[in-house]
Amino acid sequence: MAKKETPQTEPEKKYALTPLMKQYYSIKAQHPDAILLFRAGDFYETFGPDAVTASGILGITLTKRANGSAASVELAGFPYHALDVYLPKLVRAGQRVAVCEQLEDPKQAKGIVKRGVTELVTPGITFDDNILDHRENTWLASVAFGPKGRAGVAFIDISTGEFYAAEGSVEYIDKLLANLMPKEIVFKKGDEAEFRHAFGDRYYTYKLDEWAFNYDSNREKLLKQFDTASLKGFGIDLLPLAVSAAGAVIYYLEYTEHKDLSHVRGISRLDQDKYVWIDRFSIRNLELFHPLSENGTSLTDVIDRTLSPMGARLLRRWISLPLKDKAAIDARLETVGHLLRDTALRDALAAELGAVGDMERIVSKIAVGRVNPRELVQLAKGLAASERIRNLCAESPNAQLRRFAERFADCSAARLSIERQILPEPALIPGRGPVIAAGVHEELDQLRRIATGGKDYLLALQQRESEAAGIPLKISYNNVFGYYIEVRNAHRDKVPQGWIRKQTLVNAERYITEELKEYEEKILGAEDKIAAIEARLYAELVASLQPTVPAIQGNAMAVAELDCLLSFARVAIEHHYCRPEIADDDVLEIKDGRHPVIEQRLPIGEPYIPNDLYLDSTSQQIIIITGPNMAGKSALLRQTALIVLLAQIGSFVPASSARIGLVDRIFTRVGASDNISQGESTFMVEMLESANILNNISGRSLVLLDEIGRGTSTYDGISIAWAMVEYLHEHPGGKAKTLFATHYHELNEMEARFERIKNFNVQVREVDKRVIFLRKLVPGGTEHSFGIHVAKMAGMPPRVIDRAKAVLEDLERQRRNGSAAGGSPDLSSVSAPASGRGRGRSRTAASGEGGMQLSFFQLDDPVLKEIRDQIRGLDINSLTPIEALNKLNEIKKLSGL
């Protein structure tokens, strides 16, 4: 959805502001469209309209404070340590949040504390683990429009460093946006109408000035970012709109105070010729990522058995972008097949992958200096696990797995450095608990001994000094003198000369020594010194790890890919999938195919009925599927698309065998939906989706159409459906493989007229007036829909069911007798219900217990039959007004009115 603009916060009247509020307004003016979290001591405060908004979203108290003389301003705040709780709530509510920190120690500040925005958090830009979903990317996208319906797009996930770009038609860019689902999109001011026309209003957006999309400056920006002399190596040097979009997204990150992008080291091109086209309608209809029903299950839910966050994110990208390269698909399938057969290797890899953690996001935090000690400990564990994964792959007899081993860089030095310097269970933040391990820094170890072993040290010092002086004494402490040695007056003559008198009491004297003074200085400043040394050592460690970021990123990608392939193997074993045969021809042949989601949702013990399917471009290009409601037509369409998609991402498929001729596009028009907010009815949405299909098909497309035309009149619907099937059959650009499920039995006639159209139906059986759905696809058409049976199953009142059966019998009898002109049902001939037979009742008059009166004319009444016959015999166009009145009078007398 488009973002809501937030008005700039300004004092309503020009009162004399306090210094704090002057500072606030000056910073707020730089970020007028963001909620400013203004750090003031131990709280983050919001003021004015920001406070009103924040209090409503966060449920915190809204108050007022003095804003200078004769003025007040709304105020809402929360403790600084609760930022991780409240910040995600604001961002998830669609707010941009500017975090304003104190840039100096208030104790050291002269006058008002210096403050500044350290980060601007938006729905598409964050490192916060409480906002990020670890199993999916948080994409920030940028769109640059060009001439002739072309556009460029760039996607970046700042939390992982992944960066992609593409250029093509607006339709292709729309497909990519729908596939990757960015959390935020930036585009040029002035392009609002074009953006809305192309992509609707379903995205959170932000507008940048026109110069932010300048090609020349953005090209230079990318070259500087990647430290290269050319963009040819990334494949985007001849894509000016893609370069403009990519540079704009980098500018936007800098604008939001994310200027350290050292982990973004390259950009990949999303080439239209490399991936299968799946439009946003098909993504929704096939429920790839999100189910249509509230408690439903998506394809991702079923096949995602990944063990690492990196693998889960990559799997979603694979589903979004299936491959068209046979060699690449076969390489994935070969690896899956070996993992499926090698149980020991599969179990060993699963154990290690579960220990890897999110290396990808942790290493990105290292690059930008945001990593915490516990994340470093997890990184060390992940690096150790990845070393073991590399060794397992290197020892495998499978060539594909050995190639995986070659992709792993040696990061053992980084791992050992972390393990040596960081405690196994460190504090979350340096300075708020121990972080650095013992033995790393001598002074730090000594200070820790002083801080933790002070009592033992003082006892030892007391005993040593007492023995040396030969007098009893004690060492104590107070806030005035600090640490001191107390000697009773009876022994003061024996006090060593090096002692310094500090205080004389009635019965004793107090002294200090150089050693005791040094110890006091150490122990009193030990905690502060410990915190400072640990912070410095930790920062040095993080800095030393930054050169290893690219190597660790490469290891993380190899781990993610292996995780996905292992997930495919585990799912194949658990659900009995087979390896598909990938072919370069146009044959699609599936034996015993099953729907991967529905079969997992069936009640325990109920088997899924599999089906065979064959399509090609020469003999059986289009299959028209008829059959009753709930027989499984829609499921058959969806399962076909999902089997093809699974095969082309490199997964085994739910079938006994499958031959998949490579598909370049998958189109589906399944299910009913509307878009009322845009004034689009269910039928309009159906036609929009259908038009998108017909305008973009190719010879290698897979087209799945369900109940086309049902949202309009019968004749209109049949006409549209017929014309679409005919268009698909005769399309000059290629013979797209098509499944067309319909209740329009008239379409069965197309088989005799078109050579590549075949009729099939989903079988049912009637037993004792009950309908049993066999859900088996067999050759031949059918004219039975059993809609009344489904209505009965849904709980319709028995009276409605009985009446529907009677009306259906009349209409079927009429069709058999050929009495309906042109096949149109004549409701005037439908018999009336048993009760309510009074003359002259209107078509809509209720008939009490008998139900609804459907006809003015009741065929068992001879008078009304005669009236009907007279009216039918009239030539209305030749009647004069007098003749019409006379005829009406005759009918009135005949009816006895």
Q: Binding residue per annotation — 433?
A: no
Which two structure tokens, joined as six digits, stand for 716?
């209109």
- Give 242's Cβ-side CA count (13 Å radius): 25
Contacts of 383 (CB under 8 A, 6+ apart): 359, 411, 412, 414, 415, 552, 555
- CA torsion, ordered 541, 99, 188, 283, to nearest 10 deg: 80
Residue 770 CB contacts under 8 Å (≥ 6 apart), including other chains = none
Residue 627 marked in a binding site = yes
CB atoms within 10 A of CB 459: 11
- Is residue 115 within 8 A of residue 199, CB to CB? The reply is no
Residues 135 and 138: their CA atoms lie apart, in Å, by 10
634 marked as binding residue: yes
> Which is it for the CA torsion 434, 436, 439, 443, positive or negative?
negative
d(CA 704, CA 699): 14
| 852 assigned to a ligand binding site | no
Query: Which residue shows structure tokens 């403009």?
Result: 244
Backbone angles phi, psi at 605, to 5 degrees: 95, -15
Alpha carbons within 13 angstroms on the beta-carbon side of residue 107 total: 0
Cβ atoms of residues 729 and 771 within 8 Å? no
Greatest extent of the chain over all pairs of C-alpha atoms, in Å: 150
Strand ordering across the sheet containing 72-79: 63-66, 72-79, 43-47, 35-40, 97-102, 115-121
- 438 is annotated as contributing to ligand binding: no
The reply to whether 630 sits in an annotated binding site is yes
Dihedral of CA 207/212/215/218: which sign?
A: negative
The CA distance from 785 to 768, in Å, is 18
Dist. CA 301–CA 637, nearest whole Å: 20
Residue 536's nearest CA partner among 441, 448, 446, 451 is 441
Query: From CA 559, how far away is CA 407, in angstroms rounded?
Result: 10
Consult the annotation and say whether 629 binds a ligand. yes
Burial of 168 (0-12, 13-18, 19+ CB in 10 A): buried
Q: How far is C-alpha 884 from the geometric centre of its chain's CA atoms?
A: 69
Which residues, 6+ apart, have CB-to-CB distance to 488 below 8 Å?
A: 472, 507, 508
**From the annotation, which residues make up the binding site for ATP?**
627-634
